[in-house]
Amino acid sequence: MIEISQIPVSLDEGMTEAGCLDICRQAARKLLGCGARDIAHIELHRKSVDARKKRDVHFVLSARVRLRTPAQEKAALAHVPAARASHVRPVEDAEPTFPVPLHASVLPAARPVVVGAGCAGLFCALTLAEAGLAPLLIERGEAAAARTAAIERFVRTRELDPESNIQFGLGGAGTFSDGKLNTGTKNDAHRLILETMVDAGAPRDILWDAKPHVGSDILPTVVAHIARRIEQLGGEVRFGCRMVDIERTSSGAPCAILVEQSASAPERIRADRLVLACGHSARDVFELLVRRGMAVERKTFAMGVRIEHLQADIDRAQYGPAAGHPALGAAPYKLVAHLPQGRNVFTFCMCPGGEVVAAASEPGGVVVNGASLNARAGRNANAALLVNVNPGDLPGDDPLAGIELQRRCERAAFELAGGDFRAPAQLVGDFIARRPSTSCGRIAPTYPLGVTWCALDETLPVPIVDTLRAGIPALAGKLRGFDDAEAVLTGVETRSSSPVTIVRDRSCVAVGAPGLYPCGEGAGYAGGIMSAATDGIRCARALIADLVADSA
């Protein structure tokens, strides 16, 4: 195939896939010197917004074209004008696939076990199932529909289910978020992940959108479809099933796990090959691993607050006069400021047209996160506003010190806001002026259990508060209006990433525990839906390679 990039298209022409393809087809014929009948296939590969000039906001496309014969493609590449040669290149036509079923001689005596059905665990189990290994996937939370009901019940009654909530359940923490599929790296699994999601019900535009997202209204359907696919391939998925212990041999290898499900007595399950994809909030799992002598280390993580603006203000700041054009939708942003005192402040998981959600998973603690529906049609924009916490910032040598700091901040937020899962909130103007807030302005907070207006300083360590206070004006230099005095800060955002790493080697095997594969965001090897799913596939491939090597 031939890839053609940097194809400009107006907002009106680029509103639909068909319109974009028409423009790409015209560009291909002109650049490659071919006729319409010479093009055997053309597909939209990437679509991004160029908003560098606010008076000329437009889309930039890339397309992949297959001509009828290799000889035609070779001649076409020679025809490209020198001025555009850097924007036209040959690419491999082959796309990555899941593994084919393994030969019977390779299949192990016991099926592999995957703990955690977030994106890492789901794609790990799916890859293993496609290879014919019939994995057992266990998840402490519930399936999509029951999990949705548990979250709605929490918002309605303030009765938290610590086993099924925004952190735990099918799809993991990413299911009830914006469903962003951005990634800053390239991996051969990315296209496979996107195609799998589209097959499972995600919108087709994630295949080419430069900033793809699914939305928390569609993601539950997508992850439920993937779970069903695992079962159709011979795997088993158990919900409401929590791992409470790991048994290991004298060599350190896992041999079994103990699980609790409903009111049943603990069950022992053989687990010679065990994938731990437990997620960043499975604190009991991290505590278990430390007790069992596993190699667990501190890692850098981040904490802060959620910041809300009017989405219309963000649209104008990003798109100028083009703001509101139906082809653009709600504008995103991603910001970072490097401050003189040596710390950075940055935004994460920005949710255009979204809401701040109640993401607690433990009684007595307030945690906030962000979410958007697919349409991103809400009145507010929100994003995590974070500061890194480095291992050296923590006292002592306890590998779980970061978890203790998270808990301390969550409990402080809970108590400050009234002890009923309301969240503490403060206006940006008041926060910078170091005075408590008493009410909102024109930006109403979206946190669903209500907020308590106060001063947020008591909820976070002083270095984080000071960095946020210095960072907001600095970020306003990058995005006009970011320091709007009536923007709302809601606390606390503590679960943006895992504070620990379960140490593994280059073959994805836990140090000192052959046959155990730490995986995904909770283990410290991912930071979002795409990277978690990619790591799930990576660990599954490593497990399969180990089985093949053992059978040789």
pLDDT digits (tens, 9 = 90+) for 475-489: 999 999 999 999 999
pLDDT digits (tens, 9 = 90+) for 227-263: 999 999 999 999 999 999 999 999 999 999 999 998 7
Run of H or E including 402:
helix 401-416
State both tokens at 93. Answer: 């036509």
- Residue 197 Cα to chain centre, angstroms: 14
547, pLDDT greater than 90:
yes
Question: Which residue matches tokens 């402080």?
Answer: 412
Confirm whether pTM is higher than 0.85. Answer: yes
Task: Round to whole Å and give the CA distance between 295 and 249.
Answer: 16
Residue 379's pLDDT is what? 98
pLDDT digits (tens, 9 = 90+) for 274-315: 999 999 999 999 999 999 999 999 999 999 999 999 999 999
User: Burial, 334: exposed, middle or buried (Cβ in 10 Å; 0-12, 13-18, 19+)?
Assistant: middle
Contact in structure between 536 and 120 (CB atoms under 8 Å)? yes
Residue 263's pLDDT is what? 74
Q: How many CB atoms lie within 10 A of CB 187?
A: 17
State both tokens at 478. Answer: 């990058």
Task: Round to whole Å and give the CA distance between 303 and 324.
Answer: 33
342, pLDDT greater than 90:
no
* Phi, psi dihedral angles at 377 (to 5 degrees): -100, 10
Q: How many CB atoms lie within 10 A of CB 185?
A: 8
pLDDT digits (tens, 9 = 90+) for 81-106: 999 999 999 998 777 899 999 999 99
Q: Across the strands, what pairs with 44?
A: 63
Contact in structure between 184 and 211 (CB atoms under 8 Å)? no
187, pLDDT greater than 90:
no
Q: Across the strands, what pairs with 154?
A: none
Residue 188's pLDDT is what? 84
Comparing C-alpha atoms, which of 458, 475, 217, 188 is closest to residue 348? Answer: 475
183, pLDDT greater than 90:
no
Question: Which residue matches tokens 């306003």?
Answer: 476
Q: For 158-199, where are the alpha helices, taking DSSP H only? A: 190-199
Residue 180 per-residue DSSP state: B
Residue 95's pLDDT is what? 78
User: Burial, 46: exposed, middle or buried (Cβ in 10 Å; 0-12, 13-18, 19+)?
Assistant: middle
pLDDT digits (tens, 9 = 90+) for 356-408: 999 999 999 999 999 999 999 999 999 999 999 999 999 999 999 999 999 99
Across 318-334, average pLDDT: 97
123, pLDDT greater than 90:
yes
Beta strands in 196-270 (DSSP E): 236-239, 241-248, 254-261, 267-270
Task: Round to whole Å and give the CA distance between 101 and 38.
Answer: 38
Task: Round to whole Å and give the CA distance between 179 and 327.
Answer: 20
- Considering Cα of 528, then 397, then 365, then 260, what sign does the dihedral take? positive
pLDDT digits (tens, 9 = 90+) for 197-227: 999 999 999 999 999 999 999 999 999 999 9
184, pLDDT greater than 80:
no
Buried b / exposed e over 221-253, threshold 16 CB at 10 Å, is: ebbbbbbebbeebebebebbbbbeebebeeebb
Proportion of the chain above pLDDT 90, given as a percent: 94
pLDDT digits (tens, 9 = 90+) for 437-447: 999 999 999 99
Comparing C-alpha atoms, which of 508, 509, 535 is closest to residue 123? Answer: 535
Contact in structure between 202 and 218 (CB atoms under 8 Å)? yes
Contact in structure between 278 and 242 (CB atoms under 8 Å)? no
Q: Is 121 helix (H, G, I), strand (E, B) or coil?
A: helix
- 492 preceded by cis ω (within 30°)? yes
pLDDT digits (tens, 9 = 90+) for 45-72: 999 999 999 999 999 999 999 999 999 9
Q: How many CB atoms lie within 10 A of CB 2?
A: 23
Residue 412 per-residue DSSP state: H
Residue 265's pLDDT is what? 85
Residue 150's pLDDT is what? 96
Across 314-338, average pLDDT: 97
As a whole number, the mean pLDDT across the chain is 96
Comparing C-alpha atoms, which of 98, 100, 108 is closest to residue 549? Answer: 108
114, pLDDT greater than 80:
yes
Task: Round to whole Å and give the CA distance between 407 and 409.
Answer: 5
